[in-house]
Amino acid sequence: MSLPETYKVIQPDEKGQPILKEFPLEKPSTDQELVRVEFSALSLYDNRLLSLGTQSTDPNKRYGLEGSGIVVAVGDNLKRPFKVGDRVHIGDGSWSQYLLAKSEDVYPVLQKDIALEDVCAHFVNSATVHNMGTVTIKGGHRTVIVTAAGSILDRMAIRYFKLKGIKIICVVRRDEQIHELK
């Protein structure tokens, strides 16, 4: 696979506002891997940075709290054994065409049948669902309502609450989502 010489990334300008910049594509070195970003989530944190701007004018600051992609190159002496072609979940800096990361900052996607589109929001959404469950269980509630039930977050919530034996009322945006959720 040939890689491009440059790649694009969203990062703050000198006023802290997001802009698209282009950089030379670096090859991975010791304990690094290069990931081609396939999907990146828009979290509440990202949305806040976009709407308010960031206080950072650091030229290395990258937007995108989490995403998913494919490993396209690896360095030597990896702490986690990745290889080219592996599907992975990535963290900070995912609003980029490529992400150069330490191997311990990248997580393998072990479930073969899950789409990378769904993987891109696993950290933040998982924590959110866990917190929702904690509040629900501590409050002694036996039923929850999830709105936007076709979203990645609410699909996680549906699975979680079913495992916990808590009834779920789902609200969907479109009729075709009813079949998907059943």
Tell me how long the chain is: 182
pLDDT band at residue 51 under the 50/70/90 scheme = low
| DSSP string over 123-172 | HHHHHHHHHHHHHHHHTT-SEEEESSTTSHHHHHHHHHHHHTT-EEEE--
**Position with higher pLDDT, 12 vs 89:** 89
Q: Where are the alpha helices (DSSP H) in the chain?
A: 44-52, 116-119, 122-138, 152-163, 176-181
Closest residue by Cα to residue 27 from 62, 74, 93: 74
Answer yes or no: are the C-beta atoms of 28 and 100 closer than 8 Å: yes
Q: What is the pLDDT of residue 181?
A: 74
pLDDT tens-place string over residues 68-104: 999 999 999 989 889 999 999 998 889 999 999 998 9
d(CA 100, CA 71) in angstroms, rounded, equals 10
